[in-house]
Amino acid sequence: MVFWRKKRNASEQEQEERDDKLLHPSREPEIEPPTDAEEPSLAHDVREVPESGVLEELAETPVPAHTRLSDAREAEVQREARAEEDGGGWFSRLSSGLSKSTRKISDGIGDLITKRKLDDATLEQLEELLIGADLGPRTAARVVADFAQGRFGKEIGEQEVREALADSIAKILEPVTGELTIPDAPKPFVILVAGVNGVGKTTTIGKLAWQYHVNRKKKLVIGAGDTFRAAAIEQLQIWSERAHCPLVAKQVGADAAAVAFESYEKAVEEGADILMIDTAGRLHNKANLMAELQKIVRVLKKRDETAPHEVLLVLDATTGQNAHSQVEVYRDMLDVTGLVVTKLDGSARGGVVVSLADQFKLPIYAVGVGEGIEDLQPFHPKEYARALVGL
């Protein structure tokens, strides 16, 4: 019984030695940064797929009654209210929204300067007031430096301080003024709406749909790409009914890219001008979820090389400096073409858009200023800046 101990032949021994070398490196092996990873698996592998497909039960779910008539009435009332406000429209609306929040910043300036020399202490206080509005320490410093130029050491009144500050801020914001214009071709014009969780993507789509369909008589199709969150489809369905647009939805847990593809088909079939695609909220640092978004884009490109024609990133005005990271990652991964800032009717001032404008130069297409269907307004930098400093 020695056969298993018999001498190995030469080639086997060589092989053994080679293997040995592999197994027992002579020196301490260094940390190898492993670089050969696979493509991250897509989100639907990771996420738990909810089992219920409950669209049919929607009828039983109580929602605020939104009839065609009541929506029209709501829009009418909103329009009238806006017409009554002097100066008309966006500025006064935003001011009233911002009044609570800006009171503090403007009171601050009021306390600060009645009429005295502009010195370092005053400048520091100005800087802090801007930081308090979420401009971020660096942008605040820049705006204040800009403001101080040529004014340092001079006597200056409160009104002048505000005007000058507003001018400085508006100067930064002016390059990012933009309107979401829909050209006649290509058809359908594809708008992809993305953002982190809870910023108001679905609501924004509802408002946009209303704006383009009811106010500008464009033909719209909406794709319910949020197949993950519970009742997201139902929520969008209610909005699409309010805006009288057809909705393409699949069951919960379906592939979002498939929804996008099917809604594109539907849009072509209907001869729609615009296709808007909702997506599930996702944190920008989740690589697999971001890859899912890229898949949606890839799938759309199969039908139209130029699609999506606009990629809107929705930002929450209450978000602080993390908005930078959001915009940066979303822009790199998804070629974001414009921003929508929501929840500007609260006490948050959304000052981070100033530093975003400075850094990314992405146009701000619209701002959300309420829960009503008409509460989506174009962005006016001058008026925003003035409202921000309480003018």
Residues 70-99 that bind other proteins (CB under 8 A): none
Binder to other proteins among 2, 5, 7, 35 (CB under 8 A)? 35
Residues 193-212 that bind other proteins (CB under 8 A): 196-200
Provide the minimum distance between the beta carbon of 367 and other proteins in the complex, in angstroms, as a whole number: 15
Which neighbouring-strand residues pair with 157? 115
Q: Residue 129 CB, nearest distance to other proteins (Å)?
A: 9
Q: Which is nearer to other proteins, 133 or 296 (CB)?
A: 133
Residue 23 or residue 185: which is nearer to other proteins going by CB? Answer: 23
User: On the CB side of 4, how many CA atoms lie within 13 Å of its CA?
Assistant: 1
Tokens 């400096």 — which residue? 321
Nearer to other proteins, 282 or 309 (CB): 282
Of the candidate spans 47-55, 163-171, 182-190, 268-276, the one that interacts with other proteins by CB under 8 A turns out to be 47-55
Using CB under 8 A, which of 75, 268, 287, 291 touches other proteins? 287
What is the bridge-based pairing of β-strands 310-316 and 364-368?
unpaired
Q: Which stretch binds other proteins (CB under 8 A): 116-124, 160-168, 215-223, 312-320?
A: 312-320
* Phi-psi group of 340: left, alpha or beta (phi > 0 → left; psi -120 to 50 → alpha; rest → beta): beta
- Residue 318 Cβ, how far from other proteins at the closest point, in Å? 5
Applying CB under 8 A, among 5, 6, 26, 34 the residue interacting with other proteins is 34
Binding to other proteins by residue 124, rule CB under 8 A? Answer: no
Answer yes or no whether residue 38 interacts with other proteins by CB under 8 A. yes
Q: How far is CA 59 from CA 209, 217, 371, in A?
A: 22, 28, 23
241-280 residues in contact with other proteins (CB under 8 A) are 252
Interaction with other proteins in 328-357: which residues (CB under 8 A)? 343, 345-349, 352
Q: Any contact of residue 237 with other proteins (CB under 8 A)?
A: yes
Rule CB under 8 A: choose which of 142, 207, 250, 284 binds other proteins: 284
Tokens of 30: 């260094």
| CA distances to 176, 274, 317, 362 from 335, in Å | 16, 19, 21, 10
Q: Which helix (H) or strand (E) holds 293?
A: helix 287-303
The reply on whether position 235 binds other proteins by CB under 8 A is yes
Angle between helices 90-112 and 120-132 (to 10 degrees): 140
Integer CA distances (angstroms), 280 to 51, 319, 331, in order: 17, 18, 17
CA distance 352 to 339: 12
Q: Which of residues 238 and 389 has its CB atom nearest to other proteins in the complex?
A: 238
Alpha helices in 53-209 (DSSP H): 68-84, 90-112, 120-132, 137-148, 158-173, 201-209
Q: Half-sphere exposure (CA, 13 Å, Cβ side) for 119?
A: 5
Position 224 contacts other proteins (CB under 8 A):
no
Q: Hey, which residues between 125 and 164 contact other proteins (CB under 8 A)?
A: 128, 131-134, 136-138
Within 10 A of 35 (CB to CB), how many other CB atoms are there?
Answer: 5
Closest separation in Å from C-beta 247 to other proteins: 13
Binding mask 355-374 for other proteins (x = CB under 8 A): ----------------x---
